[in-house]
Amino acid sequence: MAEYSPLSTSEDQPTPQLQNKREFKINYITIFFFLAIGITLWTSIPSLIYLFSGRLEKSIPIEPSQESSVPTHTSPILNFEPSEPHPEMTKRIISAYFTSWSIYAREFNVKDLDAKKISHINYAFANLDADGSVKLGDPWADTDKHFDGDSWNEGGNNLYGNWKQLGLLKKNNRHLKVLISIGGWTWSTNFPAVAADLSKRKRMIASAIKMMYDLGADGIDIDWEYPSTESDADNYVELCKEFRHELDKYAEKIGEKIPFLLTAAVPCEPNVYKKRLKDMSKYLDFFNLMSYDMAGSWSSVTGHQANLYGDDLSVDKAVTSYISRGVPAQKIVVGIPMYGRSFIKTKGIGHPFDGIGEGTWEKGVFDYKKLPPQNAQEFFDDKVVASYSYDSITKELVSYDTPDVVRLKTKYVIDKNLRGVMNWEISADFFASHSRSLLAIEFDSLDGTNCLDSTPNHIYYPDSVYDNVRSYFD
C-alpha cells in the first residue's frame, strides 16, 4: 500500500498579492477536495488492514442455505499468528460426533442428521499409525460406499462414502462445519510416541491436513485418550502449536480467509486433565469436554455417569478446574452422553452391583433412544442434577441424561458463558422431530437459530485428489 503524504501547507511559499474572488474560490475548493480525500484514506487504513489480514470475524451470520455466497479466494492474506487462533466467538456450538460404523447395524446415515440444529460434526475416527501417518478408519464407509443417488458411471476420480454425503450436507447448510476426529479410545495407543518425536509429529500433521483438504473437511479434532505424564503434556502442547501453525499456513497458501479449526476432546478425570491446559488453549479453538463416563462397570458401587454437580467427579468440577487453569469459558464445550450405563443386581444409586446389563450394541451400554427400559421408572436426583432409571423387579439401574437434565445443563452453559454442547454420539438419539430428542432440546434451550454458530464452512479445496471435491460437487 502506498504511503499517504499530505499536501504541503508550508507558510514559506510566496502568496500573490492580488487575486480575484473566483481564483480564491477555486483554490479553496481544491484544498478542501484533497483534504477530504486524505481524511478518507486515513480512516480507511484500519479497514484495509482488516480486509487483507485474512481473519474474518467468526460470528458473522449467514443463512444456512444452498444459495449462500462462496468466499473469495483470490485476495492475499497475511501470516496467521499461531498464538491466537481466532477472534472471540460469540454464538453457541452444538456439535455431534458421527461415527463411521453407524451406517451398519445402527442404520443411521448422514441423511438422517438434522443439520439445521447442528453447528459442528466430528467424524469418528481416523487412525494414527505408529509412524505418525493419519489414515482412514474405514475406507469403505468413509470414501467408497455408493449411497442412493451416487452414480457408478462418473468419469474421473471422485469421492463417495460418508464424506461425499457430508460434503453435500455442507453445501446445503453453509453454517455446518465438519472435522476429522483422530484417535478415540481404540486408536490412541500411538499418540505418546508420535507426539514425542518431531519427525513423527510432522508426518501426523502433514497427513492429517492432506486428509482434511482431500475429503473437504473444516478442521481437525484431536481425541487423545489420554495423555498421562508430564512429558505427554509438554508434547501435546507442541503438537497443538505445530498443528495450528500448519493449518494457518495452508489457509494462507490457498488464500482462505476463514481459518481451519483445531479442537481437542478432553476428559473430566482430575488426574488426567491437570496438564498444560492454558498453553494448549493458545492453539485450540475449543475443548470438547467428555463430561460423562464418571461411573460404569469399573466402579465399586453404582453412580451417576454424567452428574452436573457432586462432591467427587462432576461436570461443574471439571469446568471449574479447566477455567482455573487458564482455559477461557468460551472455549469449553460440555459433552452430553446420548447413551446410558447399566448396573444389575443392585438396590439403587450408591449401592454395590454385580454385573452390567446387555445393552443395545455392547454390553452395559444402552442407546438413549432405547431408554428407559420397559417397566423401569425414571428418577431425577435434584441434588446433583442427574437422572437414571430403575427396575425394582430386575434390579437393573441405568444412568443417563433425560430431557430435564439436558435442559438444566444447557442453562448451566448459558449461565457460565460456556461455548456450547457436544454429543456422543448422534445415532443414539431420537430423531430430532421426537419430543425426547436431546439434540432438539439443546437447540431449543439455547435459543435455536438465534444462538447457533453460523461461521461459514469451507468449500474451496483446490488441492484435493478428488475431482468432485475440487468442484464442490457441482
Could you tell me the fold of the domain covering 93-339+404-470?
A: TIM Barrel (3.20.20)
Digit-coded pLDDT (tens) for 456-473:
999 999 999 999 999 999
Query: Which of 242-246, 274-278, 335-339 has the weakest average pLDDT?
Result: 274-278
Residues 6+ apart with CB under 8 A from 136: 126, 127, 142, 143, 211
- In this prediction, residue 166 carries a pLDDT of 99
Digit-coded pLDDT (tens) for 307-350:
999 988 999 999 999 999 999 999 999 999 999 999 999 999 99
In a 10 Å sphere around its CB, with 0-12 CB exposed, 13-18 middle and 19+ buried, how is residue 121 labelled? buried
Answer yes or no: is pLDDT of 91 > 50: yes
DSSP3 helix / strand / coil % (the chain, rounded to 5)? 35, 15, 50
DSSP letters, 43-102, are: HHHHHHHHHHTT---TT-----STTPPPPP--S--PPP-TTS-SPPP-SBEEEEEEEGGG
Identity of the residue numbered 339:
Y
225 a catalytic residue: yes
- In this prediction, residue 94 carries a pLDDT of 99
Q: Which of 11, 84, 154, 225 is catalytic?
A: 225
- In this prediction, residue 90 carries a pLDDT of 64
Identity of the residue numbered 138:
D
In 3D space, the residue among 473, 417, 406, 418 whose CA is nearest the CA of residue 444 turns out to be: 406
In a 10 Å sphere around its CB, with 0-12 CB exposed, 13-18 middle and 19+ buried, how is residue 252 labelled? middle
- In this prediction, residue 171 carries a pLDDT of 98
Stronger pLDDT, 82 or 106, i.e. the higher one: 106
In 3D space, the residue among 61, 111, 125, 116 whose CA is nearest the CA of residue 90 turns out to be: 61
Task: Assign 212 a pLDDT band (cuts: 50, 70, 90).
Answer: very high
Does the pTM surpass 0.85? The reply is no
- In this prediction, residue 8 carries a pLDDT of 32
Output the nine-digit C-alpha cell for 310: 457432586
- In this prediction, residue 399 carries a pLDDT of 99
Answer yes or no: is pLDDT of 78 > 60: no
CB 166 within 8 A of CB 112: no
- In this prediction, residue 3 carries a pLDDT of 31
Query: Which of 109-118, 248-257, 382-391, 445-454 has the weakest average pLDDT?
Result: 445-454
- How far apart are alpha carbons 187 and 213 in whole angstroms? 22
Answer yes or no: is pLDDT of 17 > 60: no
Identity of the residue numbered 401:
D
Answer yes or no: is pLDDT of 68 > 80: no
Q: What are the residue boundaries of the structural domains of the chain, listed by start? A: 93-339+404-470
The CA–CA distances, whole Å, from 422 to 69, 195, 240, 345 equal 28, 26, 21, 32
Average pLDDT over residues 358-380: 98
- How far apart are alpha carbons 175 and 112 in whole angstroms? 17
Answer yes or no: is pLDDT of 108 > 80: yes
Task: Assign 57 a pLDDT band (cuts: 50, 70, 90).
Answer: very low
- In this prediction, residue 74 carries a pLDDT of 32
- Which position has the grid cell 453412580? 303
Output the nine-digit C-alpha cell for 339: 447413551
Share of the chain above pLDDT 70, in %: 80
CB 132 within 8 A of CB 126: no
Average pLDDT over residues 416-444: 98
CB 443 within 8 A of CB 117: yes
Question: First-to-last CA distance in the chain?
Answer: 37
Radius of gyration in angstroms for the set of CA atoms belonging to the chain, rounded to a whole number? 27
